[in-house]
Amino acid sequence: MVSMKLFDSERRVIEAAERLATALGSDPNHTVAAAAMDTAGRIHEAVNVYHFTGGPCAELVVLGAAAAAGAGPLVTIAAAGDQGRGLIPPCGRCRQALLDLHPDVFVAVPTDDGPTLRPIRKLLPDTYFFPDADARRIVRFNKRYYDDIAAARKTSTVRYDDPIALGPAIFLFEDDEVHRTLKGTVTGVERHRLDRLTAEQARLDGFTTIEELKKGLQGHYPGLPSDAEVEFVTFTVEAPDAVQ
């Protein structure tokens, strides 16, 4: 898999985990550090608690630390090992917990091309979903859409391989230095073939023609097949003074 370009905020999460891991020294009880960012841009840090009874991993401890700080849903998480081990991927138990409690979080993992981010669902495909998790959802947008979404000029989006759930969500604007968010509701999710989207759907998504929409999607999703199955997502948003 090709590494994706990281935003500065995402790099700060990785750097925070690696910096804390370096400070752990040789304590055998604390060998991994984790950092996680919430929708307000705050970074929460924690370390594991190694114990023969199955002490918690750093990722699980940082979930508790973030919850204690009133963080809400997490956007990005990273873990790093002591003794210069650097960035490490989460274990299976942590992946399941992250998927259930923070289903829209991006997880930093090491690759041959350097650190990259994966949606948690990509790290645990075909898995069981805990039905009572009651996780708060996040929908990501490019920061250039903030004004149009806040003013309800843009009320739809087309996504590929990016499942979005119906119901309330926090709308997150990526790479936004002030970490603006909006409170909204996903009202509809319809599956269509890309080559069967209509001109009306293109206009609702802010494009003049269907050709412009397809070009925009293929720019965002390189290699997108012309007959790909995409999701046409509609949403409403509350006024900006309802931002969380």
Task: Please indicate whether residue 238 is annotated as part of the active site.
Answer: no
CA angle, corner 136, sides to 128 and 230, nearest 5? Answer: 70
CB 92 within 8 A of CB 71: no
pLDDT band for 4, please (50, 70, 90 cuts).
Answer: low
8-123 against 137-242: fold identical: no
CATH no. for 8-123: 3.40.140.10
Mean pLDDT of 116-127: 93
Distances (CA, A) of 95 to 1, 35, 49, 207, 215: 19, 15, 18, 37, 35
> Of all helices (H) and strands (E), which one includes residue 97?
helix 92-101
| pLDDT 10s digits, 42-53 | 999 999 999 999
Structurally, what CATH architecture does the domain formed by 137-242 represent?
Answer: Roll (2.30)
| 156-159 β-sheet, strand order | 137-142, 167-174, 181-193, 229-237, 156-159
pTM of the predicted structure, to 2 decimals:
0.90
| pLDDT 10s digits, 154-188 | 999 999 999 999 999 999 999 999 999 999 999 99
pLDDT of residue 126: 87
| pLDDT 10s digits, 72-84 | 999 999 999 999 9
Active-site pick, 10, 18, 45, 59: 59
Provide the residue ranges of all domains of the chain, joining segments of one domain with +: 8-123, 137-242
Sequence-distant (≥ 6) Cβ neighbours of residue 164 within 8 angstroms: 137, 139, 186, 189, 231, 233
CA–centroid distance for 201 within its chain: 26
| pLDDT 10s digits, 82-113 | 999 999 999 999 999 999 999 999 999 999 99
